[in-house]
Amino acid sequence: MFTFENVYKIMNLGSAVESMPKIRLDKLIKRYGAVQVLHGIDLEMDEDEFTVLVGPSGCGKSTTLRMIAGLESVSDGEIYINDKPVSHLEPKDRGLAMVFQDYALYPHMDVARNISFALRLQKRPKAEIDAKVREVAATVGLSEFLHRKPGALSGGQRQRVAMARALAKDSDIFLFDEPLSNLDAKLRGQMRAELGVMRQNVHKNMIYVTHDQIEAMTLADRIVVMHGGYIQQQGKPEELFKRPANKFVAGFLGSPPMNFLDAELKSDGDQLFAAGDGFKLAVPSELAATLGETAGAVTLGIRPSDLNYDPDAADDVALDLRVTVSEYIGAQSVLMCACGGASVTVELKSETPIALGETLRFAVRPEGIHLFDRKTEKAL
C-alpha cells in the first residue's frame, strides 16, 4: 500500500517521521483517600521499548503499573495507548498481558488450562489453542508439566507458567510486577538471563517493575527511577549511571552504592578544588566549566569503582582512607574506610595485603567526580 510512511521507510528516512509513543502517561496522579501516592507521572514509551520502573519500596512503581493495566483507577491525568486515552477502559479492553509478583496462577486449573485461559475466553478454535499452548510451553520449557496443577510446581516453574500465560495472549504490551523477586538468587540470575534472551526475540512493549537495580540495568532500554511518587530521572541505563540527575539516583544505581562526602568548592588560582575533611580534590576543568559561578557547600559523589588503589597518586587526585572493615567476597574485597568523619566504600583485589587501621591512598578517576547541590541535591 502506498503511504508516505512506507516511502520514508524505503528511503531509509524513518527518523524523519516523528514516531508516536506507544504508551504515554500524562500527569498521572493517584490518591488513596486523602493520601496522594503518585504526583504527576509523565512518561513516554516507544514502540518495542523495554522500560524498567525502579525505585525503593513504596515509591509507587506497582501503583503506576497497575494503573496502566487498569487494575487501579486513575485519580487524575490520562494514560494513552497508541495515542488513545484508555483510563476509562476495563483491563480486558486494553490489550495487554501481565505477570504478577506472586504469579497469580489459577490454582484449580492445570498448566495447559492456565496458559490457554485467555484464548478459551476468546472462543478460539480448539486446534489453534492446543497448538499455541504447545508452542508457548516449549518456549519456556514447560512441555512436560502441561497437566500439573500449580500446587505441584516449584517456584521457578510457576514463574514460567505465569510468563507462558502472558506470552500466549499475543498482546502488544507486557507488564511485569517484580516477576523474579520470589525466586532464590541463582534462579533469579538464570531467569533474568532467559528474560534477556526472550527480550531479543519478542518484539513487544514491556514495562517491568523491580527494586533490583541489576535487573533494571541489564534488561532496560529505558530506566525510570522513581522515589516518593515522583520520577527522579529516566533514560538509557548508562546515561543514568554516568550522569545521575540528583543525589538519589546517584545513590540508588550502582553497587556498592556511591560514596557521598561533604565538601566546599574553592578556587585556588585557575584551579577549582572540592575540599573537605581530610581531602582536597581538583575538579576536572570540563566539570568546572559547567559550574559557572556556583561555589560553596556541595556534596561530592564518587563510586567505589572510580577509586583505584594507588600509593603514588598526587595529593589533589587522591583520597587517603583508613580501613575500618574489610568484607571478603571472592576475587574482590569491599573495604569500609574512614575519610575524616565520613565513611567511604572501596573495592580492592583480594590479594592486595592490607591491615585494618592502615591508611591507603586511592586515586580518583577524574570522570568519576560527581557534584551535587547540598540543599536541592540536584547534580551540578
Partner 1 sequence: MNSQTFNKLTPYMFMAPAVIIMAIALLYPLGYMVYGSFRDWDPSQSISETEFVGFKNYITLFFDPAFRESLSVTLIFAFTVVIAEMVIGVGLALLLDRNIRGMSVLRTLFILPMMIAPVVVGLMWRYMYHPTVGTFNRTLKSWGFEGVDWLGQHALLSVIIADIWQWTPFIFILALAALQSLPRSALEAARIDGATGWQQIIYIKLPLMMPVLIVTALLRLIDAFKVLEVILVMTEGGPGLSTEIVALRISRTATEFRELGTAAAMSNYLLILLLFFTLAMFAFTRLQEARAARLARQVQEEG
Ligand X SMILES: Nc1ncnc2c1ncn2[C@@H]1O[C@H](COP(=O)(O)OP(=O)(O)OP(=O)(O)O)[C@@H](O)[C@H]1O
Site residues, ligand X (CB under 6 A): 32, 35, 37, 55, 57-63, 211
Q: Which of 171, 173, 144, 177 is nearest to 159 (CA)?
A: 177
| Interface map 144-163 toward partner 1 (x if CB under 8 A) | ----xx-xxxx---------
- For cell 500500500, the residue is 1
Kind and range of the H or E element at 141?
A: none
Contact yes or no for 174/99 (Cβ under 8 A): yes
Which one of the spans 57-65, 200-208, 257-265, 275-283 is the region binding Mg ion (CB under 5 A)? 57-65
Kindly state the smallest distance separating residue 69's Cβ from ligand X, in Å: 12
Spatial separation of the C-alpha atoms in residues 112 and 132, rounded to whole Å: 10
Number of residues that bind partner 1 (CB under 8 A): 30
Rule CB under 5 A: say whether 159 interacts with Mg ion. Answer: no
Which one of the spans 37-45, 47-55, 64-72, 280-288 is the region binding partner 1 (CB under 8 A)? 64-72
Which one of the spans 30-38, 102-110, 342-350, 362-370 is the region binding partner 1 (CB under 8 A)? 102-110
| Position among 51, 62, 139, 205 found at the interface with Mg ion (CB under 5 A) | 62
β-strand partners of 52: 208, 223
By beta-carbon proximity to ligand X, the closer residue of 59 and 338 is: 59
C-alpha cell at 358: 592502615
E strand residue ranges, 228-331: 230-235, 259-268, 271-276, 279-282, 296-302, 307-309, 318-328
By beta-carbon proximity to Mg ion, the closer residue of 39 and 211 is: 211
Taking CA 240 as the corner, what is the angle to CA 328 and CA 217, rounded to the nearest 5 degrees? 55
Give the chain's radius of gyration (CA, Å): 25
Q: Which residues bind Mg ion (CB under 5 A)?
A: 62
Q: Which residues lie near partner 1 (CB under 8 A)?
A: 69-71, 90-92, 96-98, 100-108, 117-118, 121-122, 148-149, 151-154, 165, 169
